[in-house]
Amino acid sequence: MDTRQLEYFVAVAEELNFTRAAARLFAVQSTISAGIRSLESELGTALFERSTKRVSLTAAGARVLPEARAAIEAVDRVRSAAAESSHDIRGRLRVGIFTSLNYLDLPGLFGEFHRRYPLVDLQLTASPSGSTGLTEDVRRGRVDLAFMGLAAGDLAGFQVLELTRSRFVAVVPSAHPYAGRAEIDLADLTTQAWVDTPAGFGNRVVLDRALAERGLSRTVGAQVSELGAVAQFVAAGLGIAVIPDVAYASTEGTVVIPIEPAVRWTLSAITRPGPSPAIAALLELMAERFAVARPA
C-alpha cells in the first residue's frame, strides 16, 4: 500500500461520502474509488459498506482508521525530518480557520508562511460549528492546527498558543436608547433581541456561560455564521449584540459600549502535542506576529 491510498481511505472515512472526499483531496471520484478498492484488496477485507444512499465504515474500517491516520502523520514527519538538513520544511499542513476575523489577517499570515516554507502543502478549512467543531477536528486528526475561541478549561490535552485576549463589548444601533452610555451591564441587555453566532462558536460558548453564571437569559433572534459580520446585522435593525472587541470592525449605524463587569475572551491556536516541523513553524510565526505567548 502507499500513502495516497491511506489518504483516500481517511478522507472517505471522515466524510462518509466519496464525492466530498474527492473534492477535499482535489481528485476525481473514480481515482478515490479505485484507490479504496486497491487498498481493500491488499488488506483482504472491506473497509466500507456502500449503498446508493450511504457509506459507512465496517468494523475492520473502524479499526484501521486511527492506524491509517498515524501512518500518514508518520510519513509526513519522515519527509520533514529528511528535509531539515537543508532547512526545507515540507509536508501537508491542514489548518482550521475562522472565515472572518480581520484582526488575524489570515491572508498576510499564510502569505508569509508560504514565502518562508514554499514546500509545505497548506490546506485551510472552516467548521460550520465554529470552535467546538474545530476542537473535535484537531482531536480526531482531521486538521493539524486550529484557531480557537474557547476557554482554556475546554482545551485540556492540546498544545495551546494564546494569540490575544480581549473584552466583550455591546454593539447597538446608533439610535438605540443605550447608545449614549459609557458602559453597560449584561443584565440591562437581556430585555433586547440579540444577534449572535450559532451555538458551538467559541465566543457564544463563553458568553452563554457568563450569562448562566449570573442567572441571566436572553432571546437570540438572528444567528450569523460570520463573527465579523454580526455588527452589520445590528446596523440593519435585527437586534443588539455582544462580541469580542477584536471582532468588531467600525460599522456605520452602530455604537460600541464596554461591558461591566468585564467578560473576557481568549483567541488561541491549538494542536495535538508533539507537532510536526511544519506545525511548529506556523506556531513560531504566529508567536512572532501576535507576540502574546511563545509555543511550548
Contact partners, residue 271, CB within 8 Å, separation at least 6: 138, 144, 145, 146, 158, 159, 279, 283
Distance, CA of 163 to CA of 267 (rounded, Å) = 6
Q: Over its length of 296 residues, how does the chain's per-residue pLDDT go in tens digits? A: 888 899 999 999 988 999 988 887 878 899 999 999 999 999 999 999 998 889 999 999 999 999 998 888 888 777 666 655 545 788 889 999 876 667 778 889 999 999 999 989 898 888 888 899 899 889 888 889 999 999 988 999 999 999 989 999 999 999 999 999 999 999 999 999 999 999 989 999 999 999 999 999 999 999 998 888 999 999 999 999 999 998 898 899 999 999 999 999 999 999 999 888 889 999 999 998 886 544 44
Sorted by where each begins, the domain ranges of the chain are 1-85, 166-265
Distance, CA of 194 to CA of 87 (rounded, Å) = 51
Contact partners, residue 140, CB within 8 Å, separation at least 6: 14
CATH number of 166-265: 3.40.190.10
Burial of 157 (0-12, 13-18, 19+ CB in 10 A): exposed
Distance, CA of 101 to CA of 124 (rounded, Å) = 15
Kindly report, residue by residue over 49-63, the tens digit of the pLDDT: 998 889 999 999 999
DSSP letters along 130-171, please?
A: HHHHHHHHHHHTS-SEEEE-S-GGG-TTSEEEEEEEEEEEEE
Give the global pTM.
Answer: 0.73
CA distances in angstroms from 21 to 13, 31, 36, 71, 190, listed in the order given: 9, 11, 12, 19, 43
Backbone angles phi, psi at 81, to 5 degrees: -65, -40
CATH number of 1-85: 1.10.10.10
Residue 39 zone, left/alpha/beta (φ > 0; ψ -120 to 50; rest): alpha
Helix axes 3-15, 18-25, angle to 10 degrees: 130
